Amino acid sequence: DTGVSQDPRHKITKRGQNVTFRCDPISEHNRLYWYRQTLGQGPEFLTYFQNEAQLEKSRLLSDRFSAERPKGSFSTLEIQRTEQGDSAMYLCASSSPGLAANEQFFGPGTRLTVL
Amino acid sequence: SQQGEEDPQALSIQEGENATMNCSYKTSINNLQWYRQNSGRGLVHLILIRSNEREKHSGRLRVTLDTSKKSSSLLITASRAADTASYFCATTRLNYNQGGKLIFGQGTELSVKP
């Protein structure tokens, strides 16, 4: 399977715990995006990498959130001191400048439940 | 900070009927895309229309774009039960500072009954 993969697919944690998600983009894609989606809503942009550089962060990304892409390949999204409001689906997408006008390929998502 | 609004929020039709979903957005765009999401899963890209295009077809899909009204519509013809999903429009304004992020609407939940 050469699509975008995310791990884990589901995560249940207690409030106050830290969690980390991983995204492996399509290998030749140099752009990587993180989005968050709550029930009944469309995805909302969190942050964007081009290679290893984090070029934009949404205001939704509070200081409890941090994302990295150390070698320009896979990325991690960490949430510290989780809150119940962090419960959502976290989606990763990748794209390439060569693709038609920012078509993005999405992974299956990580569903986070904070108890 | 979603910019798109979709109409209707939910649509229920019989197999074989056509389904039309509408999307409105607020700012100038370079292109608009439609994505499909099956229950609780990732999004699948369906079709992209550029701001200088008015209509585009792909199989049973037809997309229109009216930049003067800042709106788009997605028509699915001869619907099938397998088309049951949520459909999202997403706009992008390619700009180095914005990095090509997608701004999604709230989605239309389509149910096609056999």
Mean pLDDT by 10 residues, chain B (114 residues): 76 97 90 90 90 95 96 97 96 64 92 96
Q: How far is CA A5 from the centre of its chain?
A: 11
Query: Given this model, what pLDDT does residue B34 score?
Result: 96
Yes or no: say if A94 and A74 are a contact pair by the CB < 8 Å rule.
Answer: no
Query: Looking at the predicted structure, is the pLDDT value of residue A104 above 80?
Result: yes
B101, B106, B108, B109: best to mutate for the A interface, most A CBs within 10 A? B101
For residue B54, the SS3 value is: coil
> Could you read off the pLDDT of A55-97 as tens digits, one per residue?
889 988 889 999 999 988 999 999 999 999 999 999 999 998 7
Side chain identity, residue B18:
N
Q: Do B100 and A4 touch (CB under 8 A)?
A: no
Q: Report whether A54 contacts A69 (CB < 8 A).
A: yes
Closest by Cβ to B102, choosing from A45, A55, A58: A45
* pLDDT given for residue A101 in this prediction: 62
Q: What are the φ and ψ backbone dihedral angles of A71, each rounded to 5 degrees?
A: -120, 15
- DSSP code per residue over A8-36: -SEEEE-TT--EEEEEE--TT--EEEEEE
Chain A residues whose CB is inside 8 A of the B51 CB are none
